């Protein structure tokens, strides 16, 4: 049988077709626009996601026996506020995960409602990207639209609704809304009250690997698929990507270098970082995980190459960064192009280059960008280590992981072994694997990971380079605290 994986990203949807043995039969992508109506704002029209998926699936299946498709699973960008009216029509563009308009609402939640109360109710504190602050922003600034809300969902849930007619979400994605009691896996009535919404406006909760329904007749006809194709609840993009890299169960770790960057640590039991620098979320395998998320990771290098250097030659820009230069760069880069989440939670933070001299070269700046992202990932690693977690190795995935140099830098900055999966398809692969479990092809998420996930290569840290980076990281760690008080004055 065949399974469709949907990766509903920020700039495009990526679709893949996969069989039960993990063979990728086909993959395509469809781009859609991203709106920045004001500085720091980021939003998209859910209708664009719908159009891309409904156009993309027939193209994905061209030349294949559509009757063999058994299930569909999606991984999607988290936190985005999708609001529907009484006719299930989209009320306004979705406010995305990397939108920074909610600074006042975040301050209200953290300072007035209080961090301790938020953590007790949801296992997390408020971040600008989370969904609850967006709801409060909409209540204050768009009261007429707010009054029209009948359903609140997340981006991939809107696609599942289009396919099945079911208002649903999964625990991993819902964990990032600041509306879920993560430990007990239910909506927090008190948080809903704080936001002025009701449980009837929230979607039904499922485990990621559970079936939410089958295709609506009109969807089956439109896509040329059988009506009995199962659609599973799917997962937030990071949880789905973790499934795709086999990061499930106790003690797994995955680093994702995508548009954003994440440190993902899976666990078989619920746990909370007492300082809430790491998110405590439910996982797609039915258990839990801790996650650190930086808002700009591979997007930093894309910005540097595409917008500043005006070059698409990524490998060429990195070719002169040899081993003898690693850990010896005197230029530092703070990767806060969109503000920052984990672990500093500062929407005012901005990127800087520091340490430049007359002999600083373009190559030095390119190296600083790659190192700055690695140092920022290490910031979250340090929080995990402070909790007693002994991380010796990790999977690594995402577009940035295609750079051998960046993986080498990351392995030495973190001083851990980094495994690259043989098939790195991100959230789409995880979505397809979850669909396999929903259809009964595998008994559990652990089972499908054990069968399908293989390691292609491992990058090990070099003791000398790692020692040099240890010194550089200690310097890097002093820069943000020094600049923190200046950032609000620059706005």
Distance (Å) of CA 190 to CA 121, 173, 186, 187, 197:
8, 19, 12, 9, 10
The pTM score is: 0.90
How much is the pLDDT for 155? Answer: 98
Residue 146: predicted pLDDT:
98
pLDDT of residue 205: 98
User: CATH topology for 2-239?
Assistant: Nucleotidyltransferase; domain 5 (3.30.420)
Residue matched to tokens 């980094």: 418
Q: Any idea what the Cα angle at residue 23 is, between residues 19 and 26, rounded to 5°?
A: 85
Q: Which residues of the chain have pLDDT under 70?
A: none
The per-residue pLDDT for 261 is 93
CA distance 380 to 292: 6
Q: Which fold has domain 246-423+461-491?
A: Nucleotidyltransferase; domain 5 (3.30.420)
Collapsed DSSP state (helix, strand, coil) of residue 445: helix
Structural domain boundaries in the chain: 2-239, 246-423+461-491
Of 237, 346, 364, 419, which residue is the catalytic one? 237
- With contact defined as beta carbons under 8 Å apart, do 179 and 132 qualify? yes
Does the annotation count 450 as an active-site position? no
Q: Could you give the CA distance from residue 121 to residue 124 in angstroms, rounded to a whole number?
A: 8
pLDDT of residue 39: 86
């Amino acid at each position: 049988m065949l399974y469709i994986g949907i990766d509903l990203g920020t700039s495009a949807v990526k679709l893949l077709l996969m069989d039960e043995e993990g063979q990728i039969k086909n993959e395509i992508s469809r781009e859609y626009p991203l709106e920045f109506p004001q500085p720091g704002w980021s939003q998209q029209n859910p209708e664009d996601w719908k159009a891309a998926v409904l156009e993309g699936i027939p193209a994905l299946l061209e030349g294949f026996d559509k009757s063999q498709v058994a299930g569909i699973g999606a991984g999607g960008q988290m936190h985005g506020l999708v609001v529907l009216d009484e006719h299930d029509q989209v009320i306004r563009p979705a406010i995305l995960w990397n939108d920074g308009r909610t600074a006042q609402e975040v301050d209200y939640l953290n300072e007035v409602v209080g961090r301790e109360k938020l953590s007790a109710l949801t296992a997390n504190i408020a971040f600008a990207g989370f969904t609850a602050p967006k709801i409060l922003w909409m209540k204050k600034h768009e009261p007429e639209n707010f009054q029209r809300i009948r359903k609140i969902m997340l981006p991939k849930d809107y696609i599942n609704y289009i396919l099945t007619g079911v208002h649903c979400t999964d625990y991993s994605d819902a964990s990032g809304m600041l509306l879920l009691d993560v430990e007990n896996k239910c909506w927090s009535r008190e948080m809903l009250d704080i936001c002025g919404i009701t449980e009837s406006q929230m979607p039904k909760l499922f485990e990621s690997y559970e079936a939410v329904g089958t295709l609506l007749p009109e969807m089956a006809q439109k896509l040329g698929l059988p009506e009995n194709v199962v659609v599973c609840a799917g997962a937030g993009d990071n949880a789905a990507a973790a499934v795709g890299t086999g990061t499930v169960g106790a003690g797994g770790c995955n680093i994702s270098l995508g548009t954003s960057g994440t440190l993902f640590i899976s666990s078989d039991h619920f746990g909370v970082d007492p300082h809430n620098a790491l998110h405590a979320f439910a996982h797609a395998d039915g258990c839990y995980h801790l996650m650190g998320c930086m808002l700009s990771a591979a997007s930093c290098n894309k910005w540097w190459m595409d917008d500043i250097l005006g070059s698409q030659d990524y490998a060429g820009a990195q070719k002169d960064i040899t081993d003898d230069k690693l850990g010896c760069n005197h230029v530092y880069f703070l990767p806060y192009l969109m503000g920052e989440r984990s672990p500093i939670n500062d929407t005012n933070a901005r990127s800087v280059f520091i340490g430049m001299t007359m002999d600083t070269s373009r190559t030095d700046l390119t190296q600083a960008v790659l190192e700055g992202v690695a140092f920022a990932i290490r910031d979250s690693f340090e929080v995990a280590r402070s909790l007693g977690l002994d991380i010796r190795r990790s999977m690594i995935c995402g577009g940035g992981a295609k750079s051998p140099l960046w993986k080498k830098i990351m392995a030495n900055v973190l001083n851990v072994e980094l495994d690259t999966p043989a098939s790195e398809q991100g959230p789409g692969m995880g979505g397809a694997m979850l669909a396999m479990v929903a259809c009964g092809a595998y008994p559990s998420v652990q089972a499908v990971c054990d069968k399908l996930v293989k390691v292609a290569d491992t990058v090990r840290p070099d003791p000398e380079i790692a020692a040099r980076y240890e010194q550089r990281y200690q310097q890097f760690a002093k820069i943000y605290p020094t600049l923190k008080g200046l950032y609000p004055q620059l706005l």
